[in-house]
C-alpha cells in the first residue's frame, strides 16, 4: 500500500523512478568530433558486429561474414539467416550468432562447417559473444520477449528479460548466469569477472564467477552496447543517446501503448540508429542552433559514441559523432594494429580511427 | 585654486594602541582617479574611513581644498563634499531603492510618486538597470552596489570613495561602472577607489598608491606600474609566478564521478542544469552573476531546495539524494564554503576556535549534549596552524581578523568535516593577495589528495589558473565545458555571454 502511494507520489512530483532526467555529456564524455571525422574504410548494407584475431578484421554484414585485411574486404562465409553477433576465439576459431537464436562455432574462420552448434530454445536475441573462462563462450541475450531486430519494442515495453549465458564448448550445454537484466547487450571478460552492458539501465555491471552483480559504471547518458578489450581497458560502444523526451515517453504508459499500436515504429518517439530521413520524425523541442552555433546540448534522435574505459571501468575519454553528424548508431568497436575500428550501423559505415590521432586530438 | 583637493599628512590611526595606519601621506588631485591598493589589513579601509568621517585620526592632519578639516561623522564629510560607497552595504533593506537614494534629503511633505520619478530618471541617466520601486532587501548584490554608487553620485560629492566597488558586479556592469567613473572624472569629481583586482587599478586609475602594513609604500602614475610591480610593492615579495601565473601545462585526470546533477530546476535561477564533478580534480564553474552557479551548488548542499515538481536529480556517489537542510549533506561529505562569509560563513563575535568547532559539530548526528571547550581549543589550534590563520590567539573573535584570515576560518570550518566534495564559492573575493596564494595552494592540495573540488568564481584568471576542467554557466545551466589545456579567456567569455 505504502509502495503504491509512493509510486503515485513519485509520478505526480517527478521523483524517484518517475524522474525524467538525463546525465550530461561531460568529463570523460565531453563531446568532440573524432568519430565524425574518422576514416570510412567500408560501406555495408547491414553491418552488425566486428571481431578480430589480431591479423584481420571480421565483419558481420547481414547474412555474411567478411574479412578485412587492412586494404580490401572479402566475403568469407554466408549464412541463411542474419548474423547478430560475432567473436574470435583465442584458439583461432570464430563464433557467430544467427538471428539471435543459434550460435555456431567454427575451429577456423574458413572451416567448412561448424564444430559446435548451440540452438537452445532459451536463446532468443543473442546480441554479443565473447570468449569466457576455460573452454566457454559468453553470450548476452537481450530479451526473451522480442527478437533482436525489435530491440526498440523491448525498450518501449520496458523489457527486463535480458540474460547472460555461458556456452560450454566441450559439453555443448547452455547455462544462465544472470537474468532479469534490462536488455543485456555486450559482454567482455575482465579478469575473473565479466563486464556486461545493461542498455535500458544505462550501466555496465560486473558479474563475478558466482553470478553476483556489481555496478561498474552507471548513470550513462547513452544506451551502452558491445564491449571489447583494449590495451589496459575496454572499448564500450553506445548506439544512441538518451533524451528527456524518450525518458518522458517511457514513463507515460498509456501514451506509449497507443503510440506502439497506431504509429509506424520508424516514427516512434524512441532512440534511432540514424535520423534526419523524414519530416515525419519526431523532434525534441529545444535549441539546436543558437546564434548560428550548433549547441552541444541539442538533443539528438540518433548519436554515435565509443567510450574508452580503463581496466576498472572508469571512462577515460570518448569519441563522438554529434547531432549534426552521420556516423550514428555505433554498435561495435575493436582495436587492431594501432587503430580503432567501429561500425556505425546507421549509415552502414566501417570506421577507422588511428589511436595516435585520438591522442593528438584529445591533447590539442 | 590648489590642484590638490584632499590631502592627509602624517596620518596615524591607532586601535587599542595598534596602528592601523601610521604616518601616511596621501594626496588626491582634482579630477583624478586614484587607486588605493594593498593587502587586507594594509590600512586602505581605515585611510578612506578617515576621509569619509567614519573614524577620526589619532594624529596627523587632513586638508580639504587647502583648508584643514577633521570630519567626525559621515554627514560632516558629506558637507565637505566627500561621499563614500562602502564595501558592506549601508542601505536600508526594508526601504525601496528610491527611498534609499533620497534618504536624509526628505522634505516636510514627500510624494512617493515624485521620488520614484526622480529616481527613475536619475538611474536611467547612469544607465543602471534598477527598478526604483523595488525593495532593496530583495535586490541582488550587484544591484545593491549600483544603488550605493547612485546615492553617492546623487549627493554631488566632490570626492567619491569607492571601497571594492566592482567585487559583485558582472563584466557588463563593470564596464558601465568604469564609464560612470570616467564620466564623473570629466565632471571634475575626484575618485578614490580600493580594489583587489589589480587590472582595474591599472586600467582605470590615473595614479596608484600602495599601502603595506599601515604604511605608505609608493605613489606613482598608473602608467609607470605593471602587475608585477604592484604585487611586489603590496606584499614585498614576488608573487607574479604563483598568483594566476602561467597557463596550466597539465591537468589532473578525472577520478570516479562523485556528483551528478541531472536536469536540476529551481525557478527562476536554475533551468534544467546538468553537470558532473569528479574526484581528484578541480572543477571550475564560471559564469556571470545570475547564471545560477551558486544556486545549483546550494541545492546540492541542502541550503536551497529545488522545484517541488520535476525538480531534477542530484546523485552523490551513484545514489539520488534530496537534502532539505544542510546537515545531512554535511554528513554525506559535502562542504559548501559560502561566497558571503560575513552573513553565512561564521559567527563573527565567536572565537576562531569555536567557529571551527561548530563545523565539527555539524557533522555529528544530533549534535552533542555536552560540548568540550578543550576539544574546541585543540581542533581550532590544529586548523589555525594548518591553514596558517594569522590570529593572535584561538580566543580572538573572527570579526577582528582580516578578510583573508576570516576566509581561512570559513574554509577550516568546512574542512574539519572531512568532506569528499568541497564547493568553494568565490573563495578569494575580498581577500588580500597573500591570502589568495595560500587559499589557492590549499585548493590545489585538496584536489591532489583526491577530493572532488568545485570552485565557483567570477574571476577568469583564477578559474584558468586553478581549474582542471572548466564549466561555463549561462542563464541557469551549464552550457560549455573546457579542459584547462584548451581554454582561453575569450572562449570562456564567449560561452558565458552568447
pLDDT at B309 over 60: yes
Domain extent listing, chain A: 2-276+287-363
Q: Which residues of A touch B260 (CB under 8 A)?
A: 23, 219
**Across residues B394-415, what is the average pLDDT?**
83
b/e burial code for range A230-251 (CB count within 10 A of at least 16 → b): beebbbbbbbbbbbbbbebbbb
d(CA A218, CA A201): 8
How do beta strands B282-287 and B452-457 pair?
A: parallel
- pLDDT (tens digit, 9 = 90+) per residue, A266-320? 999 999 998 877 777 776 544 444 444 445 445 678 899 999 999 999 999 999 9
A156-201 pLDDT, tens digit per residue, is: 999 999 999 999 999 999 999 999 999 999 999 999 999 999 999 9
From residue B465, alpha-carbon distances to A14, B166, B496 in Å are: 40, 21, 18
Nearest CA in chain A to B312: A21
State whether B274 and A218 contact (CB < 8 Å): no
**CATH 3.40.50.300 domain residues, chain B:** 4-235, 244-333+419-498
Inter-chain contact B478–A26, Cβ cutoff 8 Å?
Answer: yes
Is A27 in Cβ contact with B310 (below 8 Å)?
no
Least CB-CB distance to A22: which of B262, B479, B481? B262
Confidence of residue A347 (pLDDT cuts 50, 70, 90): very high
Best probe of the A interface among B255, B310, B468, B469, by most A CBs < 10 A, is B310
Given CB atoms, is A22 within the 8 Å cutoff of chain B?
yes
Selected for mutation to probe chain A from B249, B267, B274 (highest A CB count within 10 Å) is B274
In this complex, is the C-beta atom of A363 within 8 Å of any C-beta atom belonging to chain B?
yes
The CATH number of the domain covering residues in B244-333+419-498: 3.40.50.300
**pLDDT higher than threshold 90 for residue A9:** no
Query: Cβ of A27 under 8 Å from any chain B Cβ?
Result: yes
| B309 closest CB neighbour out of A13, A293, A297 | A13
Q: C-alpha angle A224/B315/B409, rounded to 5°? A: 140
- By Cβ distance, the residue of A14, A219, A363 closest to B310 is A14
Counting residues of chain B whose pLDDT is more than 90, the rounded percentage is: 30
Q: What is the CATH number of domain B4-235?
A: 3.40.50.300
Mean pLDDT, chain A, whole residue set: 90
Q: Does A20 touch chain B (CB under 8 A)?
A: yes
Q: pLDDT digit string (tens) for B477-492?
A: 898 899 888 888 778 8
Query: Per-residue pLDDT averaged across B432-446, rounded?
Result: 86
CB contact under 8 A, A27 and B469: yes
The helix (H) or strand (E) run that includes residue A216 is: strand A213-217
Which residue has 536475441 as its cell numbers?
Answer: A125
Burial B312-336 (b: 16+ CB within 10 A, else e): bbbbbbeeebebeebbebbebbbbb
- Whether residue A21 and residue B322 make contact (CB cut-off 8 A), yes or no, is no
Which residues in B lie closer than 8 A to residue A314 (C-beta atoms)?
A: 254-256
pLDDT digits 0-9 by tens, B5-35: 999 999 998 876 667 889 999 999 999 999 9
B452 pLDDT tier (thresholds 50, 70, 90): very high
pLDDT at B493 over 80: no
- ipTM greater than cut 0.85: no
Shortest Cα–Cα distance, A153 to chain B (Å): 26
pTM value is: 0.72
Average pLDDT taken over every residue of chain B: 84
CB contact under 8 Å between B256 and A20, yes or no, is no
Residue pair B407/B435 in contact (Cβ under 8 Å)? The answer is yes
What's the gap in Å between the CA of A150 and the closest CA on chain B? 29
What CA–CA distance (Å, rounded) separates B123 from A213?
Answer: 65
- Whole-number pLDDT of residue A190: 93
Closest Cα in chain B, distance from residue A352 (Å): 25
- CA of residue A81 relative to chain centroid, distance: 20
Q: Does B480 touch chain A (CB under 8 A)?
A: yes
DSSP H or E segment with residue A84: strand A83-88
Residue B373 CB-density burial (10 A; 0-12 exposed, 13-18 middle, 19+ buried) = exposed
Q: pLDDT per residue over B56-103, tens digit each?
A: 899 999 999 889 988 988 888 888 889 888 755 678 889 999 999 888
Do the Cβ atoms of A22 and B263 come within 8 Å? Answer: yes
Greater model confidence, B110 or B264: B264
Tell the CATH topology of A2-276+287-363. Answer: Neuraminidase (2.120.10)
Q: Within a 10 A sphere around the Cβ of A62, how many other Cβ atoms?
A: 16
Find out whether the peptide bond into B18 is cis, omega within 30 degrees of 0: no
DSSP-assigned beta bridge partners for residue B159: B82, B190
The shortest CB-CB distance from B309 to any of A14, A16, A297 is to A14
Q: Look at A244 and B276 and tell me if their CB atoms are within 8 Å.
A: no
Minimum distance, in Å, between the CA of residue A21 and any CA atom of chain B: 5
CB distance from B308 to chain A under 8 Å?
yes
Q: Which of A20, A23, A363 sits opposite B260 (nearest CB)?
A: A23
Amino acid at each position: 500500500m505504502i509502495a503504491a502511494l509512493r509510486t503515485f507520489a513519485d509520478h505526480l512530483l517527478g521523483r524517484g523512478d518517475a524522474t525524467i532526467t538525463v546525465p550530461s555529456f561531460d568529463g570523460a564524455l565531453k563531446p568532440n568530433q573524432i568519430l565524425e571525422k574518422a576514416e570510412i574504410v567500408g560501406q555495408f548494407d547491414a553491418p552488425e558486429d566486428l571481431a578480430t584475431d589480431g591479423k584481420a578484421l571480421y565483419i558481420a554484414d547481414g547474412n555474411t561474414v567478411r574479412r578485412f585485411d587492412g586494404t580490401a574486404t572479402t566475403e568469407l562465409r554466408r549464412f541463411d539467416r542474419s548474423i547478430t553477433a560475432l567473436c574470435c576465439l583465442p584458439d583461432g576459431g570464430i563464433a557467430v550468432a544467427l538471428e539471435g537464436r543459434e550460435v555456431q562455432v567454427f575451429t577456423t574462420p574458413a572451416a567448412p562447417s561448424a564444430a559446435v552448434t548451440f540452438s537452445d530454445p532459451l536463446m532468443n536475441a543473442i546480441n554479443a559473444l565473447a570468449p569466457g573462462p576455460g573452454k566457454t563462450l559468453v553470450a548476452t541475450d537481450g530479451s526473451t520477449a522480442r527478437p533482436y531486430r525489435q530491440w526498440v519494442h523491448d525498450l518501449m515495453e520496458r523489457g527486463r528479460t535480458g540474460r547472460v549465458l555461458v556456452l560450454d564448448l566441450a559439453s555443448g550445454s547452455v547455462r544462465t548466469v544472470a537474468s532479469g537484466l534490462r536488455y543485456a547487450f555486450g559482454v567482455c571478460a575482465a579478469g575473473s569477472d565479466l563486464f556486461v552492458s545493461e542498455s535500458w539501465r544505462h550501466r555496465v555491471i560486473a558479474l563475478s564467477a558466482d553470478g553476483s552483480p556489481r555496478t561498474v559504471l552507471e548513470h550513462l547518458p547513452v544506451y551502452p552496447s558491445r564491449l571489447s578489450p583494449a590495451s589496459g581497458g575496454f572499448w564500450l560502444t553506445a548506439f544512441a543517446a538518451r533524451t528527456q523526451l524518450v525518458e518522458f515517453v517511457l514513463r507515460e504508459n498509456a501514451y506509449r501503448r497507443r503510440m506502439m499500436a497506431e504509429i509506424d515504429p520508424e516514427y516512434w518517439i524512441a532512440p534511432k540508429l540514424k535520423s534526419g530521413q523524414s519530416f515525419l520524425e519526431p523532434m525534441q523541442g529545444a535549441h539546436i542552433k543558437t546564434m548560428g552555433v550548433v549547441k552541444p546540448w541539442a538533443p539528438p534522435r540518433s548519436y554515435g559514441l565509443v567510450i574508452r574505459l580503463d581496466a576498472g571501468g572508469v571512462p577515460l575519454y570518448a569519441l563522438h559523432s554529434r547531432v549534426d553528424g552521420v556516423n550514428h548508431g555505433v554498435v561495435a568497436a575493436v582495436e587492431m594494429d594501432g587503430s580503432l575500428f567501429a561500425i556505425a550501423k546507421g549509415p552502414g559505415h566501417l570506421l577507422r580511427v588511428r589511436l595516435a590521432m585520438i591522442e593528438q586530438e584529445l591533447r590539442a | 585654486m590648489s590642484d590638490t583637493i584632499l590631502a592627509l599628512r602624517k596620518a596615524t590611526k591607532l586601535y587599542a594602541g595598534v596602528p592601523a595606519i601610521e604616518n601616511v601621506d596621501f594626496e588626491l588631485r582634482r579630477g583624478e582617479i586614484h587607486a588605493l591598493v594593498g593587502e587586507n589589513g594594509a590600512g586602505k579601509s581605515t585611510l578612506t574611513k578617515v576621509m569619509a568621517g567614519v573614524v577620526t585620526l589619532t594624529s596627523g592632519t587632513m586638508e580639504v581644498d587647502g583648508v584643514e578639516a577633521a570630519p567626525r561623522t559621515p554627514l560632516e564629510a558629506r558637507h565637505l563634499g566627500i561621499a563614500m560607497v562602502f564595501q558592506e552595504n549601508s542601505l536600508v533593506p526594508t526601504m525601496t531603492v528610491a527611498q534609499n537614494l533620497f534618504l536624509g534629503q526628505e522634505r516636510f511633505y514627500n510624494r512617493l510618486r515624485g521620488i520614484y520619478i526622480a529616481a527613475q530618471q536619475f538611474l536611467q541617466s547612469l544607465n543602471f538597470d534598477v527598478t526604483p520601486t523595488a525593495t532593496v532587501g530583495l535586490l541582488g548584490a550587484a544591484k545593491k552596489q549600483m544603488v550605493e554608487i547612485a546615492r553617492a553620485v546623487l549627493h554631488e560629492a566632490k570626492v567619491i570613495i569607492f571601497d571594492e566597488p566592482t567585487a559583485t558586479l558582472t563584466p557588463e556592469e563593470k564596464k558601465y561602472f568604469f564609464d560612470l567613473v570616467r564620466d564623473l572624472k570629466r565632471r571634475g569629481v575626484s575618485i578614490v577607489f580600493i580594489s583587489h583586482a589589480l587590472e582595474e587599478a591599472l586600467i582605470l586609475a590615473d595614479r596608484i598608491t600602495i599601502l603595506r602594513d599601515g604604511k605608505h609604500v609608493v605613489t606613482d602614475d598608473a602608467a609607470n606600474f605593471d602587475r608585477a610591480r604592484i604585487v611586489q610593492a603590496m606584499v614585498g615579495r614576488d608573487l607574479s609566478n604563483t598568483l594566476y601565473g602561467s597557463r596550466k601545462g597539465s591537468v589532473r585526470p578525472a577520478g570516479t564521478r562523485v556528483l551528478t546533477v541531472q536536469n536540476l530546476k529551481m525557478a527562476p535561477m536554475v533551468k534544467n542544469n546538468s553537470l558532473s564533478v569528479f574526484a581528484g580534480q578541480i572543477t571550475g564553474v564560471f559564469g556571470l552573476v545570475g547564471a545560477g552557479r551558486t544556486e545549483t551548488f546550494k541545492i546540492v548542499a541542502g541550503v536551497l531546495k529545488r522545484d517541488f515538481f520535476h525538480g531534477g536529480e542530484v546523485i552523490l556517489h551513484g545514489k539520488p539524494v534530496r537534502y532539505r537542510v544542510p546537515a545531512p549533506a554535511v554528513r554525506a561529505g559535502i562542504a559548501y564554503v559560502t561566497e558571503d562569509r560575513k552573513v553565512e560563513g561564521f559567527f563573527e563575535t565567536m572565537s576562531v576556535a569555536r567557529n571551527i568547532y561548530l563545523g565539527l559539530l555539524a557533522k555529528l548526528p544530533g549534535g552533542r549534549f555536552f560540548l568540550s571547550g578543550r576539544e574546541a581549543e585543540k581542533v581550532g589550534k590544529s586548523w589555525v596552524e594548518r591553514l596558517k590563520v594569522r590570529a593572535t590567539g584561538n580566543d580572538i573573535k573572527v570579526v577582528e581578523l582580516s578578510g583573508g584570515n576570516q576566509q581561512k576560518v570559513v574554509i577550516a570550518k568546512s574542512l574539519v568535516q572531512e568532506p569528499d566534495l568541497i564547493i568553494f564559492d568565490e573563495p578569494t573575493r575580498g581577500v588580500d593577495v597573500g591570502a589568495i596564494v595560500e587559499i589557492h595552494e590549499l585548493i590545489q592540495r585538496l584536489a591532489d589528495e583526491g577530493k572532488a573540488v568545485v570552485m565557483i568564481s567570477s574571476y577568469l584568471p583564477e578559474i584558468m589558473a586553478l581549474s582542471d576542467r572548466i564549466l561555463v554557466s549561462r542563464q541557469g545551466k551549464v552550457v560549455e565545458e573546457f579542459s584547462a589545456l584548451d581554454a582561453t579567456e575569450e572562449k570562456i567569455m564567449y560561452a558565458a555571454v552568447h
